[in-house]
Amino acid sequence: MKKDLSLGPKIIIYAFLGLCCLLCVIPIITVVSISFSSDIRIMKEGYGIFPKGMTLDAYKFVFKDAAAILRSYGVTILVTVLGLGFGLTLNSMIAYVLSRKDYAWRKPLTVFLIIPMVLNGGMVPTYIWLTKYLHLKNTIWAMLLPMLIVPWFIILMRTFFTQLPASLMEAATVDGAGELTIFTKIVLPLAKPALATVGMFITLNYWNDWFQPLMYIDNRELYNLQYRLYVLMRDVQEMIKNSAISGMGISMADMPTESMRMAMCVIAAGPMLAVFPFFQKYFVKGLTVGGVKG
């Protein structure tokens, strides 16, 4: 029988957890606060959890070309949804095959899967392969394919699949179920924690990606949100640098550079912060996959 903790230890535990929550929440509040602050006040007084010189200048500057931002949001959502669908399907199917103990090529393929985690082909061969052979430059697929199959996700799901009762699969086989039926009707419904965890990681990978557009996308119509914001910040820095050289006198104080940077963080991270609580239960459970059971 478990013994309930007395009031003293409970207070200490709750105080410690509350402090941990504050340490996680305060940086987020500070970022939002800076995005609504005046850059001049920030330079004079520094950062704070409350806006200093409340203003919407940063958001007005970012949304000066609102159509481009919304289009980039659309591209990001499209790539993320496609990446999530294809990524979960392919990674889970490979993981299921490697989890079957009766599969003869299980160990060699697992080793083959681990090799890219240590050694990869490199950026130049990947670029040549995608642009010269597959002709995917300036296409949505150039942002999808490089991150579609991730060995770590496969290993995570494979570990979860191996912990499922083998008797379920054996009973289904006796009843005449094929591998596809077992996978879709038995394995996947029982693997919701692993699927939610991997799905969250895949979503974050695609949502936060700016490197693939940097490498493969020249068409501004196909810029995703992260790369659009990166280009916007780069253009502002170049404008300030060029004005200093030409003597136009535009300085950092004339543009909401610091608050704009934080506004970009809010615009980019806001949707993910809103979605994460709905997956938190499965996410935490999925991260414990492979742990020692007492």
CATH number at residue 219: 1.10.3720.10
Say yes or no to pLDDT of 288 above 60: no
Instruction: Return mean pLDDT, the chain.
Output: 83
Please compute the mean of the pLDDT values over residues 225-241 and round it to a whole number: 81
Q: What is the pLDDT of residue 213?
A: 92
The residue length of the chain stands at: 294
CA atoms of 77 and 275, how far apart (whole Å):
13
Which DSSP state fits 249?
Answer: -
Q: Flag whether 22 is in a domain.
A: no
Say yes or no to pLDDT of 160 above 80: yes
Q: Flag whether 254 is in a domain.
A: yes
Residue pair 33/256 in contact by the 8 Å Cβ criterion: no
Choice between 174 and 242, residue whose per-residue pLDDT is larger: 174
Number of domains in the chain: 1
Say yes or no to pLDDT of 159 above 70: yes
Place of tokens 């699969």: 169
Exposure string for 180-213, b = 16+ CB within 10 A, e = fewer: eebbeebbbeebebbbbbbbbbbbebbbbbbebb
Q: What is the pLDDT of residue 293?
A: 45
| Lowest pLDDT segment from 26-40, 125-139, 140-154, 237-251 | 237-251
Say yes or no to pLDDT of 173 above 80: yes
Q: Flag whether 31 is in a domain.
A: no
| Lowest pLDDT segment from 2-16, 32-46, 67-81, 194-208 | 2-16
Say yes or no to pLDDT of 161 above 70: yes
Q: Flag whether 47 is in a domain.
A: no
CA atoms of 209 and 79, how far apart (whole Å):
10
Q: pLDDT tier at 194 (50, 70, 90 boundaries)? A: confident
CA atoms of 268 and 271, how far apart (whole Å):
7
Say yes or no to pLDDT of 168 above 90: no
Q: pLDDT tier at 294 (50, 70, 90 boundaries)? A: very low
Q: What is the pLDDT of residue 243?
A: 63
Please compute the mean of the pLDDT values over residues 21-27 and round it to a whole number: 88
Which DSSP state fits 291?
Answer: P
Q: pLDDT tier at 239 (50, 70, 90 boundaries)? A: confident
Q: Flag whether 30 is in a domain.
A: no
CA atoms of 80 and 229, how far apart (whole Å):
17
Please compute the mean of the pLDDT values over residues 4-26 and round it to a whole number: 85
Exposure string for 70-95, b = 16+ CB within 10 A, e = fewer: ebbbebbeebbebbbeebbeebbebb
Place of tokens 């879709």: 184
Please compute the mean of the pLDDT values over residues 240-262 and round it to a whole number: 65
Residue pair 269/32 in contact by the 8 Å Cβ criterion: no
Q: Flag whether 8 is in a domain.
A: no
Residue pair 145/274 in contact by the 8 Å Cβ criterion: no
Q: pLDDT tier at 3 (50, 70, 90 boundaries)? A: low
Please compute the mean of the pLDDT values over residues 48-65 and round it to a whole number: 84
CA atoms of 215 and 123, how far apart (whole Å):
10
pTM score, two decimals? 0.80
**Coil, helix or strand for 132?**
helix
Structure tokens at 80: 């993320």
Q: Flag whether 6 is in a domain.
A: no
CA angle 43, 47, 49 (to 5 degrees): 150
Residue ranges making up the domain that contains 251: 56-291
Q: Flag whether 34 is in a domain.
A: no
Choice between 239 and 53, residue whose per-residue pLDDT is larger: 53
